[in-house]
Amino acid sequence: MSIKNNIQPLVELFDVRKCFGQTVALGGVNLSVARGEVVCVIGPSGCGKSTMLRTINWLEVPDSGEVVLEGQPIGIRIGQNGKVSPQASKDLNKTRSRMGMVFQQFNLWPHLSVLDNITRAQKIVLQIRKEDAEKTAHRFLRQVGLSDKTHALPDQLSGGQQQRVAIARALAMDPILMLMDEPTSALDPELVGDVLSVLQQLAEDGMTMIIVTHELGFAAKFADRILFMDKGLIVEEGPPQQLLQNPETDRLKLFLKQLGTMNLKFS
Amino acid sequence: MDLDFRIILDWWPLILSGFKLTLVIVTGAILLGIPLGGLLAFGRQSKFKIISILATAFIEIFRNTPFMIQVFLLFYVLPFYGIRIPANIVGIIGLALFGSVYYAEIIRAGIDAIPRGQLESARSIGMSHWQSMTNIVLPQTMRIILPPIGNQTLSLVKESSILSTITVQELTMSALIVQGQTFRPFEIFIVITLLYWGLNELIATGLRIYERRLERRSLSDLASA
Amino acid sequence: MKFNFSYTIDALPRLLEGALITIEIAVIGFILSLTIGTLITVFRTVSQSKLLNAILAVYISFIRGTPMLIQIFLVYYALPAIDFLPGPGELRVDMGPVTAGIVAITLNSVAFVTEILRGGLAAIHKGQYEAARALGLRNYPLWRKVVLPQLFMKTIPPLVSEFTQVLKATPLLAMITVVEMMRVSQQIFSANYHPVEVLSGAFVLYFLICFAVSRSSIGLERRFAVRRF
């Protein structure tokens, strides 16, 4: 486990609320994540965990509440007279480039090769030169173990390989935070392990990560903290051993029982 | 019944020039109509209510009126406001306006065909809306919409014959002139019909070859995976 | 020059008469083509004749591959020029412009209607035929009670769309002297030299007619809807 720097939290959510029509997706979420922390978010379908993750990079716009990155609010701008208005897109884009996001469906760009997928954003968002961008790409491809697929097209890769390319693509932007929305849920079981090893490596290297996942085994071993969400709220949170072995709330107990938490190894 | 196809030979230069003008006009209409269709497609989705209403109104008006009256109105309206342009140009503009509303729908469908997730991953990595469109969405859209655009082209070729009613000397007008001069409708209309039909089949075949090549390419990707 | 609305108003009565002719021609043509198209569709499905399908394929390719205006000219100018009886004696087709117009529209629309019906037929589950046959229903009742009602209900939107196409083709008949709305407009403005005002009136009328027709598609579907289960 990495040593955490607790001076200023990296990401904070203050009473974030979001409704989709009549449904309450987030009912007032408060969260604070420190630099270097690995936070896993678990919970039943529809509990709001994906929505919460997506408000962090403003893919979902909260109805109320604040999302703060390194002390600066995301998505909104507070004018001199205290008036709140939407953030200028240029600033929002810049903030987003500092956060890496990995999706359940990988979302690679099918018309571009693996190399282009990883270098395109570097070139047009970060204005990095082609040669440097490619060097970075090769480095991360090596890290995720896919150097031999540099010039392949996404539809020539397995799901696990595509996800690893997606991770490399996000890492190539040198993010301060990685957001992962069920990174292994769409994979066949035998491919899950490859992706988890990459995530493990990232965690050990000190990357701040917020991962929405069903992989309790991974969470038990590598999370600093686990959040259990239900019906739009964080119901329980704490270190893995505490949460998974001694759940306090009935809802968490029920959830764990349904998943079956035998044979979990803790770090 | 006596047929005399020699008159076709006599009048061939006129027929050929009409055919060429048809091609020029249709090409011009495509080049003008597709960007216009793109503007309409984006206009319809615009956040500004007034733009989206105007775009929708434009599309509904042009879809629910005959092409012939559109070009007639255009033909007479322009001099009305003091703009004098040759009939051929009026024809290209009229055909482009007519085609643009169909192009708008094709382009919209092409954009919607791109899974939303790709746009999300582009935005979340820091690309602006414009960058996401030009780097991720539109390149894929272009490839998808080529067959329906091709189909629309066939439609434009046929509608172009209506331009003969506003004195444009395209292929149909050539037929009318030859008929008027020779009093022999049969030979000339058969030949003109075959020319239109042949052109249509040519474009349709070209499209089929393109579509088949697209299929083959994606199949070979699967094979080498 | 300023737009003088009074010319539009003055032209309105005659334009409306022309509109009536437009609608009459379109309706007659469409009903004919729907009838013929249905008969062809039933016949080709029942007989499974390869020859018939081949002929239809060529016919449809021809209709879809050539301009409507040319088709109209072929019927009006070229068809009467054919003498069907070689040698002494003549057998020619003699048609006035309105007849020629309706014939051209029908011949054109039939191709599209047959294609629409063919597509709709393919979407009806084959099991329907087999079930009906097993119950003892032979051809005529089979078609009338089972297949055709479903077919028409399914194909209302494309058929309404085709009717709109027919409406939009009627102004072309002005070129063979049929006095529908377009021709009427021409007659009016060649007399009063105000084409823009007159054509605008006709333009709006065409729009209203076509718009009303395409909107009716939803209403028609509801009226003829078979209860879903």
Count of A-B CB contacts under 8 Å: 73
Q: Residue C229's pLDDT band (boundaries 50, 70, 90)?
A: very low
| Residue A41: band (very low, low, confident or very high) from pLDDT cuts 50, 70, 90 | very high
Extended beta strands in A34-80, E state: 38-42, 64-69, 72-73, 76-78
Question: Least CA distance to C164: which residue of chain B?
Answer: B64
Report CB contact under 8 Å: A97, B125. Answer: yes
Q: Identify whether the C-beta of residue C102 lies closer than 8 Å to the C-beta of residue C178.
A: no
**Pairing verdict, β A177-181 and A208-212:** parallel
A76 strand-pairing partners: A86
**Contacts for B164 with CB less than 8 Å, ≥ 6 apart:** B170, B172, B173, B176, C69
- Please indicate, yes or no, if residue A35 is contained in any of the structural domains: yes
- Read off the pLDDT of each residue in B204-225 and give the average, rounded to a whole number: 71
Q: Which chain B residues are closer than 8 Å to A176 by Cβ? A: none
What ipTM, to 2 d.p.?
Answer: 0.87
pLDDT tens digits for range B58-106: 999 999 999 999 999 999 998 888 888 899 999 999 999 999 999 999 9
CATH number at A47 reads 3.40.50.300
Question: Half-sphere exposure of B150 toward its Cβ, with a 13 Å CA cutoff?
Answer: 19
Cβ of residue A165 closer than 8 Å to a chain B Cβ:
no
Residue B122 has pLDDT above 70, yes or no: yes
A146-180: per-residue pLDDT in tens? 999 999 999 999 999 999 999 999 999 999 999 99
Residues of chain B with C-beta less than 8 angstroms from the C-beta of C203: 65, 69-70, 73
* pLDDT cut 70: percent of chain B above it: 95
Q: What is the mean pLDDT of residues B205-222?
A: 74
Which residues of chain C lie closer than 8 angstroms to B176, CB-CB?
73
Of C70, C77, C203, the CB nearest to B161: C70
Residue A99, chain B, CB below 8 Å: the answer is yes
C122/C32: higher pLDDT? C32
Chain B residues lying within 8 Å of C167, measured CB to CB = 66
Q: Which of residues 12-51 of B touch A (CB under 8 A)?
A: none
Average pLDDT over residues A208-234: 91
What domain count does chain C have? Answer: 1
Q: How far apart are CA A12 and CA A72, in angstroms?
A: 10
CATH of the domain at C39: 1.10.3720.10
- Residue C47 has a pLDDT of 78
**Which residue in the set B117, B126, B221 is minimally distant from A93, CB to CB?**
B126
Cross-chain Cβ contact B225/A155 below 8 Å: yes
The arithmetic mean of pLDDT across residues B126-150, rounded, is: 91
B175 near C CB under 8 A: yes
* B128 vs A: CB within 8 A: yes
> What pLDDT band is residue B219 in, cutting at 50, 70 and 90?
low
Mean residue pLDDT across chain A: 89
Kindly report, residue by residue over C1-16, the tens digit of the pLDDT.
678 888 888 889 999 9
pLDDT at C89 over 90: no
Does residue A129 fall inside a structural domain? no
Report yes or no on C228 lying in a domain: no
Query: What is the domain partition of chain B in residue ranges?
Result: 10-224
pLDDT digits (tens, 9 = 90+) for B196-205: 999 999 999 9
Judged by a CB distance cut-off of 8 A, whether residue C83 touches chain B is yes
In DSSP terms, A16 is beta-bridged to A29
Domain assignment present for residue A64? The answer is yes
* A2 has a pLDDT exceeding 70: no
Q: What is the pLDDT, as a whole number, of residue B224?
A: 45
At residue B225, the pLDDT reads 42
| Average pLDDT of every residue of chain C | 87
Cβ contact (<8 Å) for B224 and A156? yes
Stretch among A2-11, A42-51, A60-69, C201-210 having the lowest mean pLDDT = A2-11
Q: Scanning the structure block, which residue is given the tokens 């066949």?
A: A188
What is the spatial distance between Cα A138 and Cα A118, in angstroms, rounded to a whole number? 9
Q: How far is C216 from chain B (nearest CA, A)?
A: 13
- Give the pLDDT score at A113: 94
> H or E segment at A127?
none
* pLDDT score at A19: 93
| Range of the structural domain that residue C199 is part of | 5-84+91-223
Chain B residues closer than 8 Å to A124 by CB: 127, 131, 135
Cβ(C104)–Cβ(C76) below 8 Å: yes
B196/C74 CB distance under 8 A: no
What average pLDDT does range C82-88 have in this prediction? 75
- Is C147 domain-assigned? yes
Answer whether residue C229 is part of any domain: no
Q: Is B64 on the interface with A (CB under 8 A)?
A: no
Highest mean pLDDT among A239-243, A248-252, C56-60, C214-218: C56-60
Residue A238 has pLDDT above 80, yes or no: yes
State yes or no: pLDDT of A1 exceeds 50.
Answer: no
pLDDT band at A264; cut points 50, 70, 90: low
pLDDT category, B217, cuts 50, 70, 90? low
Instruction: Write down the CATH number for the domain with range B10-224.
Output: 1.10.3720.10
CB contact set of B146 (below 8 Å; sequence gap of 6+): B207, B210
Neighbours, chain B (3 or more CB pairs < 8 A): A, C
CB A157 within 8 A of CB A195: no
Residues in B closer than 8 angstroms to C22, CB to CB, are none
Q: What is the predicted pLDDT for the residue at B33?
A: 95
* pLDDT confidence tier of residue C137, bands split at 50, 70 and 90: low
The pLDDT assigned to C228 comes to: 52
Which domain does A238 fall in, by range?
Answer: 1-92+222-267
